[in-house]
A and B are shown apart, each in its own frame.
Chain A
Amino acid sequence: MLKFTEDHEWLAIEGGVATIGVTQHAAEQLGDLVFVDLPQVGAVIEKGGVAATVESVKAASDVYCPLAGEIVAVNEDIANDPSLVNRAPQGDGWFFKLRLANPDDANALLEEAAYLTLIG
């Protein structure tokens, strides 16, 4: 199941675990990333909590946790090479995997078509 948020994140959900990253649109808006601060594996994050921070040359931006859950994996590849997020935001540039506290909450998120309409 592929879902999107109004904060320009995507979630690929399988077996109650969501792989989460930022959308192509978000990656373009952020510009060239130079630093990614990822959460700790095992961290429990509330819906809307800050899960990660990304920094471009110019500014820092937070990446919010779209659903509540526990971090079960982070993508060290983007910490080592933040430009991977710009090159492949919806593929190899994923941020973290979240075991969802309430998997049904994902149903309220946006479908891809609705997200594409949102960003125009």
Chain B
Amino acid sequence: MTTPEALRQTPLTAFNIAQGGKMVPFAGYEMPVQFPDGVMKEHLHCRAAVGLFDVSHMGQVIVRPKSGRIEDAMLALEQLVPIDILGLKAGRQRYGLFTAADGGILDDLMIANCGDHLFIVVNATCKAADIAHMRSHMSDSCEIEGLTDRALIALQGPEAEAALSALAPEASGMRFMDVTETTLLGSPAMVARAGYTGEDGYEISISADRAVALAEALLADARVRLVGLGARDSLRLESGLCLYGHDIDPSTTPGQGSLEWAIQKVRRNGGARAGGFPGADVVLPELEKGASQRRVGLLPEGRAPVREGTALFATESSEEPMGRVTSGGFGPTVNAPVAMGYVPAELFDAGTILFAEVRGKRLAVSVASLPFIAQRYKRS
């Protein structure tokens, strides 16, 4: 157990406490699981208006090419991820995965092309390992800088554009996965039109000493309410998004994690830059022949949530579990329990009925396609 004294704080921890945040240890940080509104209201508010999330625990990393040529940094990073980085235009970002030699997933991340450098956001629990991993493989050609003096604020929901445009008018012209370096409250900020809720919105990286001022300025708009990690989890689960360490981890491959969409043709067998990342000999053939087990959506038929770790059975009486739930809870927008888990190939199909064992009872769950709710990204 981590003692509370050992927990790290974000630039917004004191602000979160002052706003009534119920603080819990998360990834080594003291983070708000909810505010006085509660998880249910925070979740629904984010889908209806705008939620503001402190996600400053996440790792922010800058990769600079020593040659000054961004292509050198892109090609260096391609040695660690099965992603087309070279094809990423300036001002755009995309989702990626660090893979291990056995094809397992070491972390998932966002990679932005900022013109003369790459800006990367990684999970809090993995950031030290990710930075070490990049330094050990990319230091010949790149400087890897972990940013420790930055906050990360997510602004998510259908009114996010209106709320942020009041401070930075250029925000309204951005599309999903655009990134731009701009000025907020007179300070430089890095803004991405992306997020982790399934809603339209932004993630804003700003200097730590300006984080509270930015949060206050955004919250001055009555449409914006604070949202904690509890609703962040239910929002991303409804939207079918993976939580690293739960839905994907070193024991699961990209194919098993249903993340083949993240691997562009150019990095697959037959592509111009096929392979060349750790575990390519496992990951790429699996994309062609199909994974033996796979992450799917699961809709419990009753009202009882089916939580992480719950065993899945093929029938009401079968003795050996054939799968497991990796994320599960209640979806406030779906207004029903929702879950994700791994099942073997023969049980992938949507509508297949499985049984989850909850408190000694076998509850029927149906395999469902993800996401559970329509994602509302601003693609054009």
Q: Contact residues of A with B, CB < 8 Å?
A: 31-32, 34-35, 37, 53, 55-60
Contact A35:B332 (CB < 8 A) given known A53-B359, A58-B230: no
Interface residues of B in 184-237 (CB under 8 A from A): 230-231, 233-234
> What residues of chain A lie closer than 8 Å to B277, measured between beta carbons?
none
Given contacts A53-B359, A57-B234, A57-B329, contact A32 B303 (CB under 8 A): no
B51 CB, nearest partner CB in chain A, Å: 14
Q: Which residues of B lie under 8 Å from residue A53 when comparing CB positions?
A: 359
Q: Is the CB of B305 within 8 A of A34?
A: yes
Contact: A57 with B230, CB < 8 Å? yes
Which of B41, B230, B231, B303 lies in contact with A34, CB distance below 8 A? B303
Task: Please give, as numbers and ranges, the residues of chain B lying within 8 Å of A60 by CB-CB distance.
Answer: 305, 307
Q: Do most interface residues of chain A lie in helix, strand or loop, or is the interface mixed?
A: strand
User: By the criterion CB–CB under 8 Å, are B359 and A56 in contact?
Assistant: no
Q: Is B304 an interface residue (CB 8 A)?
A: yes
Alpha-carbon separation in the docked complex, A55 to B234 (Å): 14
B43 within 8 A of A: yes
- The reply to whether A35 and B34 form a contact with Cβ atoms under 8 Å apart is no
**A34 and B38: CB pair below 8 A?**
no
Q: Which of B104-132 contact A (CB under 8 A)?
A: none
Q: A37-B359, A58-B230 are in contact. Are A31 and B40 (CB under 8 A)?
A: yes
Bound CA span A58–B329, Å:
6
B interface secondary structure, majority = mixed
A56 touches B307 (CB 8 A): no
- Decide: A57 near B359, CB < 8 A? Known: A34-B305, A35-B305, A37-B304: no
Check B43–A57 contact: CB distance below 8 A. yes
Query: What 9 additional pairs, Cβ within 8 angstroms, besides A34-B303, A35-B304, A57-B43?
Result: A31-B34, A55-B330, A57-B39, A57-B40, A57-B231, A57-B332, A58-B33, A58-B329, A60-B307
What's the Cα separation between A111 and B305 when bound, in Å? Answer: 35
Q: Tell me, in angstroms, the Cα distance from A81 to B40 when the chains sit together.
A: 15
Chain A residues closer than 8 Å to B329, beta-carbon distance: 57-58
Residues of A within 8 Å of B231, CB to CB, are 57
Query: How far, in angstroms, from A19 to B43 measured CA to CA in the complex?
Result: 34
A57 to B359, CA, bound (A): 18
Chain B nearest CB, measured from A62 CB (Å): 9
A34 proximity list for chain B (CB < 8 A): 40, 303, 305, 330, 337
CA–CA, A38 to B27, complex, Å?
Answer: 34
21 contacts between A and B (CB under 8 A): A31-B40, A31-B230, A32-B38, A32-B39, A32-B40, A34-B303, A35-B304, A37-B304, A37-B359, A55-B304, A55-B305, A56-B330, A57-B39, A57-B40, A57-B230, A57-B234, A57-B329, A58-B230, A58-B234, A59-B307, A60-B305
Residue of A nearest to B361 (CB): A37
Nearest A residue to B34 by beta-carbon distance?
A31
- How close is B303's CB to chain A, nearest CB, in angstroms? 5
Partner of B303, one of A35, A57, A58, A59: A35
Residue from A34, A56, A59 having most chain B Cβ neighbours under 10 A: A34
Against A, the Cβ 8 Å flags (1 = close, 0 = not) of B321-334 are 00000000110100
Determine the distance from Cα of A35 to Cα of B363 in the docked complex, in whole angstroms. Answer: 14
